[in-house]
Amino acid sequence: MKNKSLISINDYSKEDQLKILEVAEEFEKKPVQNILQDHVIASLFFEPSTRTRLSFESAANRLGGKIVGFSEASNTSVKKGESLRDSILTVANYSDLIIMRNPLEGSARFASEISPVPIINAGDGSNQHPTQTLLDLYSIKKTQNKLENLHVAFIGDLKYGRTVHSLVIALCNFNTTFHLVSPQELKLPSSVKMFIKEKNLEYNQYVDIEDVTEKADVLYMTRIQKERFSDPLEYERIKDFYVLRKNMIENTKENLTIMHPLPRVNEIEIEVDKSPKAYYFQQALNGVYVRQALISLILGLK
């Protein structure tokens, strides 16, 4: 993994992914380790994403590294019309690793091809956000004590959510049985189903949440966004239909983990938060350990 950019989750093999989870576990036990003292990390957020940026910067800080960069493009040379190519080549002079978020799809792949230092993709438009996938895998492994042979249910917007797409693709390495719950218009795209079919894994599609609650080891909830619907009434109807309510989790498996990439709107009732099965807040915290592991492995420090 040393010096290897992470742009899409598939850039790393299953073994690499498991190695990251293993090292992340070490960081969870001992979060502050001064191994990055001699390194400079560039954090380039061409569009704001406070949540992701703080998680990365907190990871670098806990490793004792220095951070340079910006949190939005408005005050930088980008605003003056500098190309991404020039921004990356300039920043690469000052840093050992570049973490980048950019609203244009494919920007991270392009950056990794021209940059002399490795790139971590912190989100390129609607395309990829691989560290989210790693933290999701870490959360599943931690709560289920394994990744193999699980029943994982995805609920809500399965069509546009890049988080869902990447996690489905990653889980195809672990003999997962998929339960896909969505309205007709937001079904998982065939380009993603292709990965499930290639591995000959079982998947079923449903319209009702209650068809899967008792089967699942993991319930992965997603937000349904208004801009996906041309008819606002249709949005209102669907939005209230794909809500996980307290009564729905009564007969669920003992080991169930309820996940959500956050931020949540109304798709999980607040009442559910009290259940020990609700895991979405810890899930976000796991992002820091996973990012610590990733940064130190790419820099060859672990």
Which residues are designated catalytic? 51-52, 80, 101, 129
Which residue's CB is nearer to another protein, number 66 or number 159? 159
Q: What count of other Cβ atoms lies within 10 Å of the Cβ of residue 65?
A: 25
Q: Which of 103, 202, 250, 255 binds another protein (CB under 8 A)?
A: 103
Decide: is 271 part of the binding site for another protein (CB under 8 A). Answer: no
Least distance to another protein from the beta carbon of 198, Å?
A: 13
- Give the 3-state DSSP-derived string for 206-256, with helices as H, strands as E and coil as C: ECCHHHCCCCCCEEEECCCCHHHCCCHHHHHHHHHHCCECHHHHCCCCCCC
Q: DSSP letter at 152? A: E
Q: Which of residues 178-197 bind another protein (CB under 8 A)?
A: 191
Q: Which of 2, 68, 77, 106 binds another protein (CB under 8 A)?
A: 106
Least distance to another protein from the beta carbon of 163, Å?
A: 15
User: What phi and psi, each to the nearest 5 degrees, are found at residue 107?
Assistant: -60, -40
Q: Which of residues 4-23 bind another protein (CB under 8 A)?
A: 8
Give the span between the Cα atoms of 260 and 268, in whole angstroms: 9
Which residue's CB is nearer to another protein, number 186 or number 272? 186
Total binding residues toward another protein, as defined by CB under 8 A:
18
Q: 226 Cβ partners below 8 Å, 6+ apart? A: 232, 235, 239
Give the span between the Cα atoms of 165 and 263, in whole angstroms: 18
Stretch that binds another protein, among 52-60, 100-108, 206-214, 220-228 (CB under 8 A): 100-108
Q: Which of residues 50-89 bind another protein (CB under 8 A)?
A: 83-85
Which residue's CB is nearer to another protein, number 44 or number 297? 44
Decide: is 104 part of the binding site for another protein (CB under 8 A). Answer: yes
Least distance to another protein from the beta carbon of 227, Å?
A: 14
Residue 138 contacts residue 289 (beta carbons within 8 Å) = yes
Stretch that binds another protein, among 66-74, 124-132, 226-234, 275-283 (CB under 8 A): 124-132
Residue 171 contacts residue 220 (beta carbons within 8 Å) = no
Structure tokens at 236: 């209102």
Give the span between the Cα atoms of 156 and 240, in whole angstroms: 11
Least distance to another protein from the beta carbon of 141, Å?
A: 26
Decide: is 31 part of the binding site for another protein (CB under 8 A). Answer: no
Decide: is 237 part of the binding site for another protein (CB under 8 A). Answer: no
Least distance to another protein from the beta carbon of 122, Å?
A: 15
Q: Which of 13, 74, 77, 126 binds another protein (CB under 8 A)?
A: 126
Which residue's CB is nearer to another protein, number 68 or number 104? 104
Give the span between the Cα atoms of 88 and 111, in whole angstroms: 7
Using alpha carbons, select from 47, 205, 183, 50 the residue that is nearest to residue 126.
47
Decide: is 110 part of the binding site for another protein (CB under 8 A). Answer: yes
Q: What count of other Cβ atoms lies within 10 Å of the Cβ of residue 203?
A: 16
Q: Which residues bind another protein (CB under 8 A)?
A: 8, 83-85, 102-107, 109-110, 124-128, 191
